[in-house]
Amino acid sequence: MQLGREVLDQQAIDAKGRQMGKVDGIVLELRGDQARVAAVVVGGTTLLWRVHAGLAAWAERRLGGEGAPTRIPWRQVVKIGIDVKLDVEAERTPAFRWERWVRDHVISRVPGA
Amino acid sequence: MRRGRVLAHRLALLGALAAVSACGKSPEARAKQAATTLRSWQATARLADEEHARGALPGEFASQAARAAEQGRAKAEQQLRQASSP
Amino acid sequence: MSKLLEIALGIVTGIGGFLETGSLATSAQAGAGFGFQLIWAIALGVICIAFLVEMAGRLAAISHHTLPDAMRERFGIRFFLAPLVAVALVSFLVLAAEIGGVALALQFASGVSYRVWALPVAAAVWLLLWKGTLGVVEKGASLLGLVTIAFVVGAVRLHAPLADVVSGLLPTAPEHDPAKYWFTAVSIIGASVSPYLFYFYSAGAVEDGWDEGYLGVNRATAALGMTFGGGIAVAVLACAAMVLHVRGIQVDRYEQIPLLLSTPLGRAGFWLFVASLGVACFGAALEIALQLAYLVAQGFGWRWGENLRPREAARFTLVYTLALPLAALVSVAGMDPLKLTVISMALTALSLPVTVVPLLILMNDPLYLGEHTNGWISNAAVLAVSVIACIVALVAIPLQIMGS
């Protein structure tokens, strides 16, 4: 499988079929002289590291734990097709941190929401 | 990456050249342009008046159009004066 | 639904949705300034946008990806940022111009300044998006948009000479004001080839679950819808040529444009103009605000969809909730609606290579399109128009700014 082409930057879908972000990074694990995929990474400052390292380091200092990405172990990657299906519930992962924050602090405050 | 930057520089240079060449517009050309604009606004005011008179424009809008024409005319006259007396 | 009905609906959407502040203002300026000479620019823009809309639909039908999805995936985040930022900026400016257009229609009708109307207009657009009745509203807007056919009636009443219209299809060099001529030409192309059109189209096609069976419908809709829509823009230009050009009137303010319809059609013409401006810009504002939210949400993988409740797609909702009032502020600040429109259109033309070339690369990738990749004609046509428009805009924009 071509990780860069078929996994990285693909749409991540959670167990309930919700869009939960993109696969922003891939974690490789070295065992002896063999590398294997350990996890995929969604959200946090991961994406920023790929754009500009200085900016990402700054954001990481500013955000602290808030900017921590969500690692989803490779065994929970269910299916790779048009999207990458993950066996997790987005609502309970840190990947949904900002979605939750915007929902609870902004959208819910609008009358009639 | 570097090639893109070179291209960007060239394009910026082209833009700057165009800008410089525009600055050198002669007073005659400026006066001519202002005169055209002035005539355009006079014609606009006439047309809007006629339209209003024959009932094609509501009074409220006719006065908006007349105000726009008046402002445009005043600005063009000023430009014409500036162009003819450097 | 039968395929023929879908094509008919597509044509109605094309006619009712084509005209907005950009094509209205630039066509009026072209006709007033240069008679029938610039019709070729409308034709060029229509050909280009028809190709692009067809491509966006084909990409959605074959790969089931929206445009931002596919770009992010194919090019990675770094390269994707360029079209993302370019499309977002241009769309924001055009959104500001459309809100200004609706506000101006209200000013013409009521006498109360557009600066007062801008925020209420943005609030109305927001409310419709928030309530999620978009499907109904969108179809309603394109149906109501059929009022713009009034320009065709106007052009016929004015006895616009068909021979001049046809000869305008051939590009010719200007006899006077070359800087203004080329600037108007690129703003017309920018008005026709608005990226929001094909980005929006791809999101709609994915949401409606298009597959290979839709390729025929897609092609017919894109070609016929855009051609008929472009016909309305030609009619605007013809009205401007017959009413304004012959009297030596050039369009420097929006207040001059209602005369295009009041002259041939009387008081009814004036109100048809106000309705056309208001409805067309309102429909466009709805689509652009939504498309901005689609673009960002799809680019970053957030939940999106016109049928989700705001709570279910919080960040998606946040994008249009922020964009609308910000775009309205441009008008509140007193930016002249005509200038804002024309500048947005010229900048759209300038940004075309950045917004269009990534799509072309995707459309030639068998991994996404299988056997349905682009033919050389569509590649060449779109590439040529966007590169030429960009270069001409690069020279014409500074000239225009210096000249005025």
Instruction: Write the ipTM.
Output: 0.92
Give residue A68's pLDDT.
Answer: 85
User: Which amino acid type is present at position A74?
Assistant: W
Is the C-alpha dihedral spanning C29, C31, C33, C37 positive or negative? positive
Quickly tell me which residue has 């001529």 as its tokens.
C181
Backbone angles phi, psi at A39, to 5 degrees: -160, 165
Give residue B11's pLDDT.
Answer: 63
Cβ–Cβ < 8 Å for C48, C125: no
B56 contacts C269? CB cut-off 8 A: yes
Residues of C in contact with B25 (CB under 8 A): 402-403
Backbone angles phi, psi at C250, to 5 degrees: -105, 150
Closest Cβ–Cβ partner in B19, B44, B56 for C262? B56
C250 contacts B36? CB cut-off 8 A: yes
C301 contacts A51? CB cut-off 8 A: no
A99 contacts C300? CB cut-off 8 A: no
Q: Which two tokens stand for residue B54?
A: 């024959």
CA-wise closest residue to C358 among C114, C124, C87: C87
Residue C253 touches partner B, C-beta closer than 8 Å: yes
Backbone angles phi, psi at A34, to 5 degrees: -115, 135
Judge A/C contact: 3 or more CB pairs < 8 A: yes
Give residue C68's pLDDT.
Answer: 95
> In the structure, what pLDDT confidence band is assigned to residue B27 with cuts at 50, 70 and 90?
confident
A8 contacts C69? CB cut-off 8 A: no
Q: In the predicted model, is pLDDT for residue B3 greater than 60?
A: no
Residue C81 touches partner A, C-beta closer than 8 Å: yes
Chains near B (3 or more Cβ pairs under 8 Å): C
Cβ–Cβ < 8 Å for C286, C176: no
Judge A/B contact: 3 or more CB pairs < 8 A: no
Q: Alpha-carbon distance C300 to C341, whole Å?
A: 30
Cβ–Cβ < 8 Å for C329, C342: no
CA-wise closest residue to C46 among C156, C165, C197: C197
Q: Alpha-carbon distance C392 to C350, whole Å?
A: 8
Q: Alpha-carbon distance A5 to C67, whole Å?
A: 17
Residue C66 touches partner A, C-beta closer than 8 Å: no
Give residue A5's pLDDT.
Answer: 77
Q: Alpha-carbon distance C372 to C280, whole Å?
A: 34
Residue C249 touches partner B, C-beta closer than 8 Å: yes
Q: Which two tokens stand for residue C397?
A: 């924009």
* 3-state secondary structure (DSSP) of residue C252: coil
> In the structure, what pLDDT confidence band is assigned to residue B4 with cuts at 50, 70 and 90?
low
Contacts of A29 (CB under 8 A, 6+ apart): A35, A36, A37, A38
C314 contacts A22? CB cut-off 8 A: no
CA-wise closest residue to B41 among C251, C111, A98: C251
Is the C-alpha dihedral spanning C52, C58, C59, C60 positive or negative? positive
Instruction: Show the low-confidence residues of chain C (pLDDT under 50).
Output: none
Cβ–Cβ < 8 Å for A35, A28: yes
Judge C/B contact: 3 or more CB pairs < 8 A: yes
CA-wise closest residue to C15 among C264, C280, C214, C260: C280
pTM score, whole prediction: 0.93
The β-bridge partners of A25 are A41
Mean pLDDT of A32-43: 89
Give residue B1's pLDDT.
Answer: 43
Give residue C209's pLDDT.
Answer: 87
CA-wise closest residue to C25 among C277, C227, C393, C262: C277
Q: How many CB atoms lie within 10 A of CB B10?
A: 10
Let me know the angle formed at the C-alpha of B60 by B54 and B62, rounded to the nearest 5 degrees. 50
The β-bridge partners of A42 are A23, A70
Q: Which two tokens stand for residue C330?
A: 């441009």
Q: In the predicted model, is pLDDT for residue A24 greater than 60?
A: yes
Q: Alpha-carbon distance B47 to C247, whole Å?
A: 9
Strand A77-80 and strand A70-73: the pairing is unpaired
Contacts of B34 (CB under 8 A, 6+ apart): B76, B77, B79, B80, B83
Residue C255 touches partner B, C-beta closer than 8 Å: yes
Residues of C in contact with B37 (CB under 8 A): 250, 252
Closest Cβ–Cβ partner in A22, A102, A113 for C300? A22
Give residue B86's pLDDT.
Answer: 58
CA-wise closest residue to C177 among B37, B14, B43: B37
Q: How many CB atoms lie within 10 A of CB C70?
A: 24
Residue C387 touches partner B, C-beta closer than 8 Å: no
Quickly tell me which residue has 């033309």 as its tokens.
C349
Q: Which two tokens stand for residue C225?
A: 């819808």
Closest Cβ–Cβ partner in C63, C81, C302 for A99? C302
Q: Determine which of A12-16, A31-35, B24-28, C226-230 has the lowest per-residue pLDDT on average.
A: B24-28
Chain C nearest CA to B3, separation (Å): 15
Cβ–Cβ < 8 Å for C39, C234: yes
Interface mutation target, options A14, A19, A70, A86, chain C, most CBs of C under 10 Å: A19
Q: Which DSSP category does C374 fall into?
A: P
Cβ–Cβ < 8 Å for C320, C126: yes
Cβ–Cβ < 8 Å for C132, C307: yes
Cβ–Cβ < 8 Å for C295, C91: yes
Q: In the predicted model, is pLDDT for residue B21 greater than 60?
A: no
Closest-CA residue of A relative to C60 is A82
Numbered residues of chain B with Cβ closer than 8 Å to any chain C Cβ? 11, 14-16, 18-19, 21-23, 25, 33, 36-37, 39-41, 43-44, 47-48, 51, 54-58, 60-61, 63-65, 68-69, 72
Quickly tell me which residue has 């009074």 as its tokens.
B59
Residues of A in contact with C71 (CB under 8 A): none
Give residue B5's pLDDT.
Answer: 61
